[in-house]
Amino acid sequence: MTLQTETPKRIVPPRTAPRPSPLVRAAVPPIAPGALPGLGHAAALLRDPLGFLGSLARHGGVVRIRLGPRTVCVVTDARLVHTLLVALAHDCPRGAVQDTLKTAFGDGLLMSEGQAHRDRRRIIQPAFGPDRMGAYLAVMHQVTEERAGRWRPGQVLDVAKEMNHLALEIVTRSLFDARLSEDATLAFHRALPDLVKGQIVQSLYPTPALARLPLPVNRRFATAVRALNRVVDQAVNRPTAATRSADGTGSAGGTGSAGGADLAGGRGTLPALLRAATDPATGRPLTEADVRSEAITMFGAGTETVSTTLTWLLDELLRHPEVEARLLAELDEHLPDGSVPTPEALARLDYTRSVTQEVVRLHAPNAFLMRTARVPVELGPYRIPAGTELLYSLTALHRDPVRHPDPLAFRPERWQDGGGVGRPSFLPFGAGKHKCIGEAFAWAELTVAAAAILRRWRPVAVPGARAREVVWTTVQAQGLRVRLAPREQRTADGDRAPGGERTPRGTGATPSSDQPAPPGGCPFTAAPAPVPPRALAERPLAARPLAVRPLPARPRGELRTAADRHADWVLRHGLLAPAELPGYRAYALHELIGHAFPRTRGAELDLLVDVLGWFTILDDRFDGTPGRRPAEAHALVDPLIAVLDGAEAQPPHGPLLHAWRELWDRQCAAMSPAWRARAAREWRACLATFPAEADHRARGTVPALGLAETMRLRRHGSCLYPFMNILERVHGADAPAALHAEPALHRLRANTADAATLINDLYSLEREERQSAAAFNTVLTLQRARGCTRNRAVRAVRDRVVRLRQENEGLRRELRRRHPAGRWYLDGTRELVAGVQAWTSTSDRYQVPDGGRLR
């Protein structure tokens, strides 16, 4: 919500003369290179606004650019922007961008300056007082619940459009205690693009007279202004809910706040506050034009930027499911499902706040804002003459790599434990006397709306329909379309049930199904219940169930206890910070071990969970720069491989290496030299895939890889071979040496690793399609190597899994006949594959979204 208004901080008194600072010794800002004759830098600014503005920081803290005949100074240093907005606020009032809106909507809070601005702010401030926040939260929650309750499973949403409607409704019902008609809502959203485009174009005119010409952009701007005024009039002039109830004119459906804000019969609404006030300059009541001016400010600033941020928030969570899992875990803990949020509950959502802060940092909605120096001023070491226009971009400032390392990476953890950057470097709501009056309202709206949506729905990105930046005066998020699937909610006994329905133990949902499964199907312990052929045909191929043999039931409490011991082990070794633990635990790795090793108990169960958890944490490290830089990959992996060779660890000893030495010793305890050699060989092959994949990514050869090379990397990189060796460790004895000598067993082991890998590829496909780094996924490889459609590639991989399983059953029968003493080992390889599927189809880490029919 970018309501650029003042705060109760100290007001800088007006000055009748410039300060006696030594301006003559200050520097003239350098001019940016690349200006074109006649156009200056206008072409570069229009072609890539954020890229161009971000590039200027290398030339200085203030840099001159030419926009046709005009010279504008761009402030690129966050500290200097803070100085501009705070210390120089009086000497540098708002510039051409805001002046365009002032002409259209009057001298309201967003456009006014000086004493007029201070007076108007004092009138409006009570509407955003802390005593109102509880009521506003209730309205925000109710509005979002009502809107999300109208959505349906499988429905495809245009997220930007839907979030615009949601934000507009929240503002209307919170501040105005009214509802807009559907026609008015549509008119508002149709008018906004033309208003924004006209605002930026008119601000760049070399003379204001051009705004009066009948140019198409000017005509559309004028039409948008009229449309927005009509919409605002509808909200401002309609009776409040309490008034309608008193005089009997309320409709059956109701049009007021209904369920949240007690606005004292309408006396506490924003229009009521304005109409009850007097203008300190004249002593007269504010005019209806004044009321409309402030209302349009709230509608415009409180709708577009919040809805855009909500859209980016959903897009980032789609790209980072581990962040979403951790956020949901925090909501489960501090904001019980269905409860109305309170200020105290929001204050406990530390990680959620970090996520929203990171979204606002990375996607700051203000592409550029302007000020004008009305007197000569000093800005840091630079001399700024009177009349100079000063431009700054919050988006570019928040992506400054000096102040925000790895600025384009979405990293909520940068805000944890006091790690967030200081105030002068993070200015999403401005600073100084024009700082956003609705900052607390906006943060609360982001949190409450996101929580209500994510607790009810699991958005699934429609392929090829991700959010993209469209830059005007704001950085809009356009193009994101998602398909909705019900979110599983916690039941009273701790299980999860789709869409909040209570699911008895022993029943569940088939992989990626939109609806609860019929009784009798459990993805954890049994084959899915029968599905009608037509319903099965309508599911995405990657989400259709693969046959799973029943696994023995296991007490759930034992696995949860093992998970708790593993969490303590992870923290003790420093593998994760405490703040990272909720998101990591959402992966439910102990469930995978429970499925794949159903007879394992005690210390052996702990070993399996610890090994899998350690490997998962290692694997996640390669989602970062080690996955793209071979040297970093080798630096991480080579010391781990050296442990297998018996070499002493060389300093420095990191947490991964220290934990790995302990795990290797635990694996090898009481095992034969032959087993140690075999296990070391398989772990070496597994770990070596990380630098190999990094090398492919660095050289750009991933798209050229054939199916055979991809399968080789995937087969060994999945850690299935090491876990087949651990089958013997947890059994307490080596499998018969004669069995290990059988070529048929080598074939069965390869098939086992391939089947588990291909199942993983099916369920992780949509996640890996969204990755910025190239993914080693067999489905994607088939599409590239054979030029087939995604649907055909998915079908081919599924068919391959079926054939591998069928072949393995024949191999097991043959091997059991010749080596009956090794039956436990042969059955264990089957349970591994079944366990991988059961977990992969339900885990937050690899759950495949329901994207509808694949094309």
How many of the other CB atoms lie within 10 Å of CB of 707?
14
Q: Encode 571-592: b = buried (16+ Cβ within 10 Å), e = exposed.
A: eebebbeeebbbbbbbbbbbbb
- Of the pLDDT bands very low, low, confident and very high (cuts 50, 70, 90), residue 119 is confident
- Of the pLDDT bands very low, low, confident and very high (cuts 50, 70, 90), residue 402 is confident
Residues sharing a CB contact under 8 Å with residue 736, sequence separation 6 or more, in sequence order: 819, 821, 822
Better-scored residue on pLDDT, 8 or 71: 71
Least confident of 157-171, 692-706, 725-739: 692-706
Determine contact, residues 812/826, Cβ cutoff 8 Å: yes
Using DSSP's 3-state secondary structure scheme, residue 464 falls into coil
CA distance 323 to 454: 12
- Of the pLDDT bands very low, low, confident and very high (cuts 50, 70, 90), residue 97 is low
H helices of 645-769, in order, are 655-668, 673-699, 707-717, 720-731, 737-740, 743-763, 765-769
What pLDDT is stored for residue 645 in this prediction? Answer: 84
What pLDDT is stored for residue 270 in this prediction? Answer: 83
Determine contact, residues 829/724, Cβ cutoff 8 Å: yes
Determine contact, residues 41/52, Cβ cutoff 8 Å: yes
H helices of 491-543, in order, are 533-537
700-705 LR contacts (CB < 8 Å, sep 24+): 702/774, 702/775, 702/776, 703/774, 703/784, 705/776, 705/781, 705/785
| pTM (global) more than 0.85 | no
Quote the DSSP letter at residue 12.
P
Helices 556-572, 589-596: axis angle to 10 degrees equals 130
Determine contact, residues 782/798, Cβ cutoff 8 Å: no
Give residue-wise pLDDT tens across range 16-52.
333 444 444 578 999 999 999 989 998 998 888 889 9
What pLDDT is stored for residue 826 in this prediction? Answer: 93
What pLDDT is stored for residue 648 in this prediction? Answer: 64
Say how many Å lie between the first and final Cα of the chain, rounded. 39
Query: In angstroms, how far is CA 589 from the centroid of its own chain?
Result: 23
Give residue-wise pLDDT tens across range 668-703.
987 888 899 999 999 999 999 899 888 888 887 755
CA distance 545 to 186: 42
Query: In angstroms, how far is CA 268 from the centroid of its own chain?
Result: 35
Over residues 623-629, the mean pLDDT reads: 86
What pLDDT is stored for residue 534 in this prediction? Answer: 34
Q: Report the DSSP pairing between strands 475-478 and 496-498.
A: unpaired
Determine contact, residues 404/394, Cβ cutoff 8 Å: no
Over residues 580-608, the mean pLDDT reads: 88
User: What average pLDDT is seen over the chain?
Assistant: 78
Determine contact, residues 352/447, Cβ cutoff 8 Å: yes
| CA gyration radius, the chain | 31
Cα atoms found within 13 Å of the Cα of residue 377, Cβ hemisphere only: 25
Over residues 56-77, the mean pLDDT reads: 94
- Residues β-bridged to residue 774: none
What pLDDT is stored for residue 217 in this prediction? Answer: 86
